[in-house]
Amino acid sequence: MDISNRPITSIQQVQNEQLNGKKIQPKQNIGTTSFDSILRQHLDQKDQLKFSKHATERLESRQIKLTDEQMLKLQDGVKSASAKGIKESLVLMDDIALVINIENKTVVTALSRQESKEHVFTNIDGAVVI
C-alpha cells in the first residue's frame, strides 16, 4: 500500500484501511489554531484583572461601575505596583478605592472614596494613586 502521496491523520486510519480494505477519508482540520495564537491568548488572559466574589458584591451593592477607560487605568496601576514589588495595594482612582492583590491580579474589595474616608486599610504594602 502506497501512502506517500496521501495525508494520513492517524495510525488508526492506516490500520483500518489494511484490515477492512476500505479507504477512509482523512479528517479535515476543523478550526486549527496555531500555537502562537493560543499562547498569545493565554498571556492576554493572564494579564487581565480578576474580581473576587467579595469585590463583585461590593461593586454591585455600592453601585460602582467601572468604565473601559478605568479598567485600562487600573491595569496600568497594577503593572506599576508590580514593578515596584508591591504585593497588596490600595489603588485610588477617580472616586473609587480598591484593594488589589497584585501578585494574583485580583481586586479584593472596592468602595467609594467617600466611604474610604471612614476606613483604615490594613495588610497592604503600597498604594497607587491614578
Q: Which residue has the higher pLDDT, 70 or 34?
A: 70
Is 57's pLDDT higher than 70? yes
What average pLDDT does the segment 42-58 reach? Answer: 85
Contact (CB, 8 A) for 101 and 90: no
**86-117 core/surface letters (b: 16 or more CB in 10 A; e: else):** bebbbbbbeebbbbbbbeebebbbbbeeeebe
What average pLDDT does the segment 60-68 reach? Answer: 93
**The pLDDT of residue 3:** 56
**The pLDDT of residue 61:** 94
What the chain holds in terms of domains, given with CATH numbers, is: 49-129 (3.30.2310)
- Compute the mean pLDDT over every residue in the chain, rounded to the nearest whole number: 83
CB atoms closer than 10 angstroms to residue 74: 20
**The pLDDT of residue 93:** 94
pLDDT digits (tens, 9 = 90+) for 9-22: 667 766 766 676 65
pTM over 0.75: no
